[in-house]
């Protein structure tokens, strides 16, 4: 993709992949420029979301970002804390995260997934004003929806490998009582 195409995607909003009553609604921080330019969540080639989703058993094979529309058939969806696209998450203000958190709560109340899985502990801490949150299930709920904070799948998050991320995603899958679709 050409640099000018990416630059033109700044501040775009891409639609959620969601439906009422999902098992897990994954929530990214905000769309990157590649995602905004393509209209597909987690579209940057170095992002590990799609491989980890498969390795953890949520999908029967590794989906490409362009296949995101298949997720609801597996009881899954994707949204973001902040809707507007940026080159880096650090371009977002704390107020944008807090407002995004308020809007996210309303979205979750409407869609009522069993679990909201926020991929990015810092985004979760800021959006929900919970500085002590750690990776894993949270005590906070949104109505009957439970919340799980997951590691950020960005290739920049070197603290987590694809394998260790997949283990954490799999813990969520088991808690959400969703089948292992890899057949393992």
The β-bridge partners of 142 are: 145
> Closest Cα partner for 55 from 176, 177, 175, 168?
168
Query: Residue 66, CB half-sphere, CA atoms under 13 Å: how many?
Result: 3
Q: How far apart are CA 170 and CA 89, in angstroms?
A: 25
- Would you please indicate which residues are annotated as catalytic (active-site) residues? 30, 41
- Close Cβ partners of 155 (under 8 Å, ≥ 6 residues apart): 44, 46, 47, 48
């Amino acid at each position: 993709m050409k640099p000018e195409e990416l630059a033109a995607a700044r501040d775009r909003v891409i639609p959620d992949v969601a439906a009422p009553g999902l098992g897990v609604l994954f929530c990214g921080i905000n769309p990157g420029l590649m995602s905004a330019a393509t209209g597909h969540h987690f579209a940057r080639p170095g992002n590990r979301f799609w491989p980890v989703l498969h390795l953890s058993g949520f999908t029967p094979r590794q989906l490409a970002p362009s296949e995101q529309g298949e997720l609801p058939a597996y009881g899954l969806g994707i949204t973001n804390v902040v809707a507007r696209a940026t080159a880096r998450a650090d371009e977002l203000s704390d107020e944008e995260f807090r407002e995004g958190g308020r809007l996210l709560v309303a979205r979750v109340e409407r869609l009522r997934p069993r679990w909201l899985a926020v991929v990015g502990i810092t985004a979760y801490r800021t959006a929900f004003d919970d500085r002590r949150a750690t990776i894993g299930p949270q005590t906070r709920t949104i109505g009957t929806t439970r919340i799980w904070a997951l590691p950020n799948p960005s290739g920049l998050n070197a603290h987590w490998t694809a394998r260790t991320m997949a283990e954490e995603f799999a813990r969520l899958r088991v808690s959400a009582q969703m089948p292992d679709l890899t057949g393992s």
